[in-house]
Copies of this chain bind each other. A is one copy, B any other.
């Protein structure tokens, strides 16, 4: 139907050159006011649309940024992406989404695809911490493409990151459980090669030690982030000579599983057993027995990552900037652990 209109078409119609049209459209001050107006009006009347691919090729900037996450259908990552999109949209950037499904091979592939696609930056949460993809990360940096890690980061030279203080988060929850009078607190951890889980565990450990309690590795259970994993973990724990009377789970889903299993065993929550999760998934506050959790402010994390990226973009110089932003976690105390009503 409607053929693509280029600046050449406008130029032809006005008997001027494409260069003039281009300058007029870009408000180049060297263009006569009358010409500019004429070009603008003609462009509008011909329904001209700038071909951003041509611009991208010529300028070397695609105005696209890539976002890599394990999966998009998780409240946390979706919210981060929302934040990124909202912050970047006003600046004319489009957001390209990639998923790794926790697979390092996919991660590597995504990195290359995005680089090939000439994105102007990559914001991502790493999949795991093997150094398998370190070369790929360095490759990004060497190509002068700003790379920013959010939530799950790795230490790569020249890469900025936006995370939350997982140590503090773990510490806060554990301290809270201790304050509720819990005497033996178990911890569900995730993949300990990831800093986030390592730090939550450390926070847990230090909170225990700081309160004069003992840290015992056998109360740390590595589990997946799923309801079933939580149930299984409780089954294991309840066979101990001294079963715990509280759980700090690094995953809200596992926390939920734990609660379900404990209830199946007629254990009273929070009277006899306290449970707390991490991430503040929407469902934690919806439950009748709402679940205590740590909020990671994903929206803010996304926006902040975007801002760090924008900053990095501005420095056209080859200066390598490395910014580490750490957001504060927020403890939401709910019924699953609130013994005392304030």
Contact = CB atoms under 8 A, between A and B. Distances in A.
A19 interface: no
Interface string A60-87: 0011100000011111001101100110
A74 B79 CA distance: 9
Nearest to A302: B73
Interface string A34-61: 0000000000000001111110110000
A104 B261 CA distance: 46
A116 B282 CA distance: 36
A166 B75 CA distance: 25
Interface in A72-123: 72-75, 78-79, 81-82, 85-86, 89, 94-99, 112-118
B118 A53 contact: yes
| Copies of the polypeptide in the assembly | 2
A143 interface: yes
B95 A97 contact: yes
A80 to B, nearest CB: 9
B117 A52 contact: yes
A1 interface: yes
A275 interface: no
Given A78-B73, A116-B52, A85 B62 contact: no
Interface of A: 1-2, 4, 49-54, 56-57, 62-64, 71-75, 78-79, 81-82, 85-86, 89, 94-99, 112-118, 139, 142-144, 227, 256, 263, 282-283, 286-289, 299
22 contacts: A2-B142, A49-B112, A49-B115, A52-B117, A52-B118, A53-B53, A53-B62, A57-B57, A71-B82, A72-B72, A73-B78, A73-B82, A81-B97, A85-B98, A85-B99, A89-B99, A95-B96, A96-B96, A282-B283, A283-B286, A283-B287, A287-B288
